[in-house]
Structure formats: structure tokens, C-alpha cells
A and B are shown apart, each in its own frame.
Chain A
Amino acid sequence: MTSAVAAAGVSKVFNPGTPEEVVALDGIDLEIATGEFVSLIGPSGCGKSTLLRLIADLVEPTSGTLTVNGKTPHEARLDRDYAMVFQRATLLEWRTVAKNVQLPLEIIGVDPDDRERRALEFLRLVQLDEFADHYPWQLSGGMQQRVAIARGLVFDPALLLMDEPFGALDEMTRERMQMELLDIWRSTGKTVVFVTHSIPEAVFLSTRIVVMSPRPGRITAVVDVDLPQPRDFDTREDPRYYEKMTEVREALRAAGVGGS
């Protein structure tokens, strides 16, 4: 079986050969199996978002090889193998919620009836079908982000790339969204690559956590999170949950990041 993501010796240098040269990533080796939920964690500047954007073919690696679903990231992008979810919902303000979810289907060229049906189906999944005809500004931040997730899932990509998707939400909304995301992950069997700088979030969600350090961005540790599935409210009270958080925190400190 091919990996969802395979990186070997990947590095990324911005502005090479200039005084502003930045080594964002250096010697990244990483393999993510299909169906995994992998979090990339580290402080600002550790290159976790850059790694996500390399997978998404939004930037190109300076060296090394990277495959997504066994293809080059470019091919994977053209095949619409992944969906990207950003920190901000990035909904189009002039489109209704339903029309926003239909956007990728329009681009792919799905016929209108099918578009409407599928958009509604995924709005139901994120429990927003009642808001199909609302405009984004009429929704709270958490609801907007759920629309963005529905928009990501609607064209059935194999891979979900999420760049701090809950970073702008309040704690309560955030925990509810984490539960919902896990439900979706379990029911759809997608591979998720999730960028965060929150240790509790990474431990609660992931099957594996990739710990990164800055300047240059490197992988310093990989922590397997073998907490039982499905995870729920009790998980957050499980002693093993705290042990894992400590383990990740230690890994971050060992990487020279300092306590947090």
C-alpha cells in the first residue's frame, strides 16, 4: 500500500542566495500511512505550515523527494487528492453557505443537481444544513469553520490538510470542534495532517505527533499516541492523556523550545 505522504530528505530554503535567506525546513523524513491522523507541532517558525504547504503543492521543495498518494504533490493537486482547511474559514462573503460548499464542485464540473445534493449532505454532517441559505457573516467563527470543513470534504479528497483550523476559536468551541472532527475522521476514513501549536489538541486528536524545532525546521521526535479510540470526553480525564502531554512537552523542551 502506498503512503498518503512520504517525504525523504525534504528541505525548503526561502530567498536562497540573498541576505534574507531562510532555511525553513531541513532534512525532513516522514511517512504518513493512509487513515492516520498526524499532527505537526512546534513553535512559530519551525516550518510546520511550510511542510503542509509543500504537501499541498502551494510551495515547492528546494531538495529531497516528496510524494502524496504515491504521486508528486503537483499531480496530487491536479487530481484533487487533498483538501486544505486554513486557520481562517476563507468563505466567499457573496455566496451563501450552501454555495460556498459547492465551490469546489463547481470547479471540478459536477452538475448543479448533484452539487446541491452533496453540499447539503456535508452540511448535515457538520450540522449546519439549517443554515444553507445564510451568508457567512451571519455565522459565528466556529460555524464558519465547520462550513470550511464541509467544503473540504464535499469533493471526497483522500487527504485533509489542516493548518491550525481551530486556532482562532475560543476554548469551548474548540473542544467541540475537535470532537466533531474526530467523528468525521472515523466515519470517512480520511488521512488527516493537522498543524497546531497546542499540545492538548495534538494529543487528543492524533494517532501520531510529529514534534518540530525551528531554525532550521527539523523533526526532533515522533510520539505515538496509543490512547484508545473512539476518543471522547473521558479521554481528556484519562491519566494516559496527561502522560502523553508530558511526553510531547518533554520532546519540545529537548528540541530547545523551552517549556510551555
Chain B
Amino acid sequence: MAAMAEVVGRRARAGGVPPAFRSTVWFLAVVVSLVLAWELYKVVGKALEGTVPLPIRPDDTSMPHVWDILGELFTRRSPSEPILLVVLLRESMFTLREALLGFAFGTAVGFGLAVAFSQSRLLERSFMPYVVASQTVPLVAIAPIVVIWGAKIGWPVWVSVAIISAYLVFFPVTINTLRGLRSPDPTVLELMRSYAAGRGQTLWKVQVPAAMPFVFSALKISATASVVGALVGELPSSLNRGLGRALLTFMYTFVTGPEKLFAAILVASSLSLGLVAVIALVEHRVLGHRRLAG
């Protein structure tokens, strides 16, 4: 009973300011600081230009003003088009579809591999080196091959892009899930043995639940990786859709309109951030009642 009172007390003390409010304030504080640092560099850089060597030129082509970048989001590139933000959001939805399929597929493969490895050291020893090696091959080298093969098989191009995304997604899921599946206390495994529990029962009743915090950590990494994978996957494809395609286009026109590239980067980051936030939310719902969660 004393232990319970203690726990309740701890929650009450943490209670004065809602944690969500506090983290929002901190988030905004960091955003404001970054903007200030960016603009300060431009001001100080311009004053010092010619006297000291600067890593990045502070002019408006290399580093446009933050307000110009934001302003660009609300500008039409041509009278027939909606504002850039709407254009980018539409392209984001296309990329999001690829990323989500890649995320789902990569997570399933990653989880499956981890379960297989947890059941057999031989399997792990035989295949883990290839799993690790797969991540040392540059994605830009693999992406065109997948696109070409996918086209031969007859997949829609966006599905090939999703496969490329999955290639980045599965790795953190495999590594973290495997660690999680091996995390239960040996005594708990003995307990299961004493009940004459089967391997499957031990896996689903002990190992998988114990691995969930590890899985969610992996999913957060994988969510960002799924977006990166989709963006990179779009580059060698013949698609004229997607955020990756937009980034590439704005890269070519960087000299005449650098704000557009930065604006597209902002939207791409927000997409990843949104996915991670969704996973954090699910994590809180699933693991919220555990003591060590979060």
C-alpha cells in the first residue's frame, strides 16, 4: 500500500503543468532558436565577409531568409497552379503512400526475420551477416535496379519505390526486435519451462510482449527511414510525381529560386515528423500502463 501511495504522489507532483504543454513550449523554443541562429549567421556573416573565411556564404542564394522560404510556400509558381504548399502537400500524399507501404512491408519482414533468428542461433549466424551487409550497399545503387526489375515484373512504379523504402525500414526493426525478444529475464523463461509451455507459447506470451518497447523504438527510426527511402526511390524512377521528384526539380533551379528547395525540405521533414508522432501516440496507448514505458 505504501508503494502505491508513493506512485500516486510522484504523478501528482509531476502534474502542475501538463507535460504536453511543456513539451510544446520547448519544441517552439527550439524552432525559434534555430531561426534566430540562421538569421544571425546571415547578419554577422555579411558584416565579416571578406575578412574571415566562412563555411557557407551568407547571401540570399545560399541561405535565403526564413520568411522568404515561408513566403514561397504561399506563392503560386504560375497562375494556373495552386500555392506551393498545396502542390507540395499533394506530392507528399503520393510519397506518403509509398512510404507507408514500404513501412508496412519492411516492418513485417523485419519482425519475421527477428522471430526466425530468435528461434534458431543457426539461422541467425547464417543470415545475420547478409542482413548487416545489405545496409552497407548504398541505396542510390540499389534503387535503379529495383525500379528496372519492378517494371519488368509489371509492378506500378510507386510499388517499386515502396520496396526501396522497405529496404531501409526492415533493418532497425530486425535488430531491435531481436534484442527485445531476447530481453526476458532467464527466470521467466524457466517459469515457462516449468509450465511445460511450447516454444510458440513462450514466444507470444513472453518474448513478443517483452519486445514491444524495443519494437516501438525501431518503428520510430523506421518511420523516418521509410520517408527517406521513398524520396530516394523516386529519383531514378520515371515518376513525375512525389516529393522526391519535387526536391530534384528544385535542386536544378536552386540558383534562381533557392527558397523552393528549402520549402520542400521543410515539408519533407514535417512528413517524417508526423509519422513519428503517430507512432509515439500508438506507443503511448499500447505501452502506457507499463512502468518502464516511454
* Beta-carbon contact of A56 and B290 below 8 Å: no
**18 interchain pairs, CB-CB under 8 A:** A77-B194, A78-B196, A82-B194, A84-B191, A84-B194, A90-B187, A90-B188, A92-B188, A94-B209, A94-B289, A103-B195, A104-B195, A107-B196, A107-B205, A135-B291, A137-B291, A139-B4, A155-B195
Of residues 269 through 284 on chain B, the ones whose CB sits less than 8 Å from some CB of chain A are none
Q: Is A2 an interface residue (CB 8 A)?
A: no
* Beta-carbon contact of B190 and A140 below 8 Å: no
Of residues 78 through 111 on chain A, the ones whose CB sits less than 8 Å from some CB of chain B are 78, 80, 82-84, 86, 88, 90, 92-94, 103-104, 106-108
Per-residue 0/1 for A185-223: is the Cβ within 8 Å of any B Cβ (1 yes, 0 no)? 000000000000000000000000000000000000000
Q: Which residues of chain B are near A139, meaning CB under 8 Å?
A: 3-4
* Beta-carbon contact of B188 and A93 below 8 Å: no
Nearest B residue to A104 via CB reads B195
Q: Is A58 an interface residue (CB 8 A)?
A: yes
Nearest A residue to B201 via CB reads A107
Q: Is B185 an interface residue (CB 8 A)?
A: yes
**Top 7 closest pairs, chain A to chain B, by CB:** A137-B291, A140-B3, A84-B194, A107-B197, A107-B195, A78-B196, A94-B209
Nearest A residue to B194 via CB reads A84
Q: For residue A13, give the distance in angstroms from its CB to the closest CB of chain B.
A: 20
Bound-state Cα–Cα, A234 to B232, Å: 79
Q: Is A138 an interface residue (CB 8 A)?
A: yes
Q: Which residues of chain A are near B210, meaning CB under 8 Å?
A: 94
Q: Is B44 an interface residue (CB 8 A)?
A: no
Of residues 183 through 203 on chain B, the ones whose CB sits less than 8 Å from some CB of chain A are 185, 187-188, 190-197, 201
User: Which A residues are closer than 8 A to B by beta carbons?
Assistant: 56, 58, 77-78, 80, 82-84, 86, 88, 90, 92-94, 103-104, 106-108, 135, 137-140, 155
Interface residues contributed by chain B, number (CB under 8 Å)? 27
Partner of B205, one of A90, A103, A140: A103
* Beta-carbon contact of A93 and B7 below 8 Å: no
Q: Which residues of chain B are near A83, meaning CB under 8 Å?
A: 194
Q: Which residues of chain A are near B122, meaning CB under 8 Å?
A: none
Nearest B residue to A58 via CB reads B190
Bound-state Cα–Cα, A58 to B188, Å: 12
Besides A80-B196, A107-B192, A140-B2, 5 other A-B contacts (C-beta < 8 A)? A58-B194, A84-B191, A92-B209, A107-B195, A137-B291
Q: Is B212 an interface residue (CB 8 A)?
A: yes
Nearest A residue to B188 via CB reads A90
Q: Which residues of chain A are near B153, meaning CB under 8 Å?
A: none
Q: For residue B142, give the distance in angstroms from its CB to the closest CB of chain A.
A: 38
Q: Is B29 an interface residue (CB 8 A)?
A: no
Known A103-B205, A135-B289, A137-B291: A86·B3 in contact at CB below 8 Å: no
Q: Which residues of chain B are near A103, meaning CB under 8 Å?
A: 195, 205
Q: Which residues of chain A are near B83, meaning CB under 8 Å?
A: none
* Beta-carbon contact of A86 and B191 below 8 Å: yes
Q: For residue B177, give the distance in angstroms from its CB to the closest CB of chain A.
A: 16
Most buried by A among B190, B191, B192, B196: B191
Q: For residue A144, give the distance in angstroms from its CB to the closest CB of chain B.
A: 10
